[in-house]
């Protein structure tokens, strides 16, 4: 017990030092990247607003949510703070401008985050269908995976195809070089990541895990995550030659050896620096690698930042 207290003091000092490092960087660099002042007039239809005939799939900076379907996870005020990464429903996230969803499931097809569970996957599908029915040109990248430590839902690939088959964009590397208009009326790229079941095959309605990659840095230290995100991104090929999606998570996560284990106060250490991250991508010459940018507790400003970079690529040829 006595040895834990100095360790915790050391941890708090490290967190404070790292938060200061990001504040200082933000003060010196600011938030300045091509089209950074751009705000989509209609976030619900922001892809339509920047011309689907001109927007190639590999040029989009996709605003995404981490652990997307956790708005009602666990028990309110008891276990929810330990697993909730979003407060909006899936439908509301899509209306706000989110275009990448990260959904975790367990054997009974309920959404989960670790040991905490929430609603059935049908709720997610219903929200997606509602959004699609109200829009015409918005493409969604839907990632569904079996949560770590859980078993695959039986026949889940068949379920997804039965539910979404009419709007699924089949697995095909040529998709990356196509425009949104060339894919319509298909609307969803669905990546299914089972733990033990067979992965989707080439040409199938679902995409397999090799087409959506990331480098998960599991830390609650904000500057460590920020710098490692930049380092990992710099090691990726440019979007012009990439035949897979690459995600960067603007998040930090609670750690078991730290007394603060609720998601929100931890992830807030980095949440406000999304625009700084994009600015640094341009400063370091790696903006041409940025593609999926995800966050906990997504908000309009985060969406606007991603859309602004997409807009600059389409209208000005930047990055």
Q: Which structural domains are found in the chain, ordered by start?
A: 14-316 (3.20.20.190)
Nearest to 81 by CA among 271, 303, 299, 267: 267
Give just the sign of the alpha carbon dihedral 29, 30, 31, 34: negative
The pLDDT of 180-197, averaged and rounded, is 98
Given pLDDT bands bounded at 50, 70 and 90, which one contains residue 260?
confident
**Tokens (6 digits) for 86:** 């979003």
Lowest mean pLDDT among 202-216, 246-260, 295-309: 246-260
Token pair 């005020």 is found at 77
Question: Which pLDDT belongs to residue 8?
Answer: 80
pLDDT at 3 over 80: no
Give me the percent of the chain exceeding a pLDDT of 90.
92
The pLDDT of 227-231, averaged and rounded, is 98
Q: Model pTM?
A: 0.96
Question: Which pLDDT belongs to residue 9?
Answer: 84
pLDDT at 2 over 60: no
Mean pLDDT score across all residues of the chain: 96
Nearest to 96 by CA among 88, 105, 84: 88
pLDDT at 317 over 80: no
Furthest CA-CA distance within the chain: 64
Query: How many Å is the Cα radius of gyration of the chain?
Result: 19
* 290 in Cβ contact with 51 (< 8 Å): no
* Helix (H/G/I), strand (E/B), else coil: 19: helix
pLDDT at 128 over 90: yes
Angle between helices 274-283 and 4-29 (to 10 degrees): 60
* 238 in Cβ contact with 221 (< 8 Å): no
173-182 residue pLDDT tens: 999 999 999 9
């Amino acid at each position: 017990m006595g040895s834990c207290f100095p360790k915790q003091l050391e941890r708090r000092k490290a967190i404070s030092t790292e938060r200061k490092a990001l504040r200082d960087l933000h003060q010196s660099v600011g938030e300045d990247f091509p089209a950074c002042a751009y705000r989509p007039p209609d976030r619900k239809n922001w892809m339509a607003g920047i011309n689907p005939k001109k927007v190639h799939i590999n040029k989009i900076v996709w605003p995404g949510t981490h652990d997307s379907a956790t708005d009602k996870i666990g028990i309110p005020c008891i276990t929810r703070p330990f697993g909730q990464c979003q407060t909006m429903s899936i439908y509301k996230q899509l209306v706000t401008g989110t275009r990448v969803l990260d959904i975790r499931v367990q054997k009974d097809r309920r959404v989960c985050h670790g040991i905490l569970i929430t609603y059935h996957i049908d709720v997610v599908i219903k929200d997606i269908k509602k959004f699609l029915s109200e829009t015409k040109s918005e493409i969604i990248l839907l990632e569904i995976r079996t949560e770590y430590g859980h078993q695959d839902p039986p026949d889940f690939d068949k379920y997804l195809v039965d539910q979404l088959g009419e709007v699924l964009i089949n697995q095909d590397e040529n998709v990356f070089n196509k425009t949104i208009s060339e894919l319509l009326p298909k609307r969803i790229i669905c990546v299914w990541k089972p733990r033990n079941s067979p992965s989707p095959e080439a040409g199938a309605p679902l995409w397999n895990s090799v087409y959506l990659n990331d480098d998960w840095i599991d830390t609650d230290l904000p500057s460590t995550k920020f710098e490692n995100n930049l380092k990992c991104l710099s090691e990726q090929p440019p979007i012009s030659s990439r035949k897979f999606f690459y995600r960067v998570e603007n998040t930090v996560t609670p750690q078991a050896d730290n007394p603060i284990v609720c998601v929100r106060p931890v992830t807030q250490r980095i949440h406000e620096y999304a625009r700084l991250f994009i600015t640094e991508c341009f400063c370091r010459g790696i903006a041409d690698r940025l593609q999926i940018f995800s966050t906990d507790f997504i908000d309009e400003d985060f969406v606007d930042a991603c859309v602004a970079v997409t807009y600059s690529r389409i209208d000005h040829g930047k990055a």
